């Protein structure tokens, strides 16, 4: 089967995006994993299907690079909005376009303006502070929050001191900690720089490695710091890629509401492959 695709990245978080608005494509777990394989396939952190859904401009079907489905991905959602607008979906308004679409975690409104995409997100919720875990770097506290998907947040004095090997070691251990069973969790290591920006490193479940950016992880980290009284909305979050995401919100008792995120999206290339 010949398959056409877009290769897109949001702040360095990269995805294979496929137009499936005609509903003719069905991929199994092995095919998704092959497409995301960086040596044998196209290579990506995840795969996105743009699909038709009544009452919305489109539906975003999201799959992690291991081939398994996932409810939500912040940068993936921003990339899907960018591609959907390029495919003619949404409402044009001067130099921008608006789209409303459905994810596995609920509806999202996005604004696409050139290579910048901003989104109104679901609430950050179910915050748990000081979660007891088996192992954390340098004795750090570990917190938890859901922002469409599950996130552990590990604040550190300086996240840049963690080596890539430590990100994987601590990330994998926390991702599988009984405190987050049975679903597991993404793991975000973060610190605040002298200029007030948050610096983020993320170990993503389903990818089982460090990724270059994480949108929902950026939100979880920013909201956690705001609850600690160390930062206030809006918060700038520097990704592993060096790109920056802007996060704004209103604090709530167990998280935040009126959450928005904005940052860059770029089309790497378009192509086709046989699956």
pLDDT digits (tens, 9 = 90+) for 158-208: 999 999 999 999 999 999 999 999 999 999 999 999 999 999 999 999 999
Checking 66-69 for CB contacts under 8 A at 24+ apart, the result is: 66/29, 66/33, 66/36, 66/206, 66/207, 66/208, 67/28, 67/29, 67/30, 67/31, 67/32, 67/33, 67/36, 68/29, 68/206, 69/104
pLDDT for the residue 1? 86
Write out pLDDT tens, residues 234-254. Answer: 999 999 999 999 999 999 999
pLDDT for the residue 209? 97
Catalytic-role residue among 36, 79, 190, 214: 214
Q: Regarding the domain delimited by 125-263, which CATH topology (the fold level of the hierarchy) does it fall under?
A: Diaminopimelate Epimerase; Chain A, domain 1 (3.10.310)
pLDDT-derived band at 138, boundaries 50, 70, 90: confident
79 is catalytic: no
Domain 2-118+265-270 has CATH 3.40.50.720: no
Instruction: Delimit the CATH 3.10.310.10 region(s) of the chain.
Output: 2-118+265-270, 125-263
Write out pLDDT tens, residues 3-38. Answer: 999 999 999 999 999 999 999 999 999 999 999 999
73 is catalytic: yes
Does residue 139 have a pLDDT over 90? no
This prediction's pTM: 0.96
């Amino acid at each position: 089967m010949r398959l056409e695709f877009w290769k897109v990245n949001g702040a360095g978080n990269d995805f294979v995006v496929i137009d499936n608005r005609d509903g003719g494509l069905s991929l199994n777990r092995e095919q998704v994993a092959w497409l995301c394989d960086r040596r044998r396939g196209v290579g990506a952190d995840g795969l996105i299907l743009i699909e038709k859904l009544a009452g919305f401009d489109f539906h975003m079907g999201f799959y992690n690079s291991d081939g398994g489905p996932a409810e939500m991905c912040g940068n993936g959602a921003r990339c899907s909005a960018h591609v959907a607008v390029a495919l003619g979906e949404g409402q044009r308004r001067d130099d921008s376009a608006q789209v409303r679409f459905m994810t596995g975690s609920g509806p999202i409104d996005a604004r696409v303006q050139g290579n910048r995409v901003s989104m109104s997100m679901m609430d950050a919720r179910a915050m748990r502070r000081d979660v007891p875990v088996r192992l954390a770097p340098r004795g750090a506290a570990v917190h938890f929050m859901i922002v469409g998907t599950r996130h552990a947040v590990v604040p550190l004095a300086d996240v840049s001191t963690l080596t890539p090997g430590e990100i994987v070691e601590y990330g994998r251990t926390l991702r599988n900690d009984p405190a987050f069973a049975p679903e597991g969790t993404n793991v975000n290591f973060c610190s605040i720089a002298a200029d007030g920006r948050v610096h983020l490193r993320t170990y993503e479940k389903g990818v089982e490695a460090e990724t270059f950016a994480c949108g929902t992880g950026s939100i979880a980290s920013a909201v956690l710091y705001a609850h600690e009284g160390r930062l206030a909305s809006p918060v700038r979050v520097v990704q592993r890629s060096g790109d920056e995401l802007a996060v704004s919100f209103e604090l709530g008792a167990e998280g935040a509401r009126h959450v928005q995120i904005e940052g860059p999206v770029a089309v790497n290339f378009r192509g086709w492959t046989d699956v």
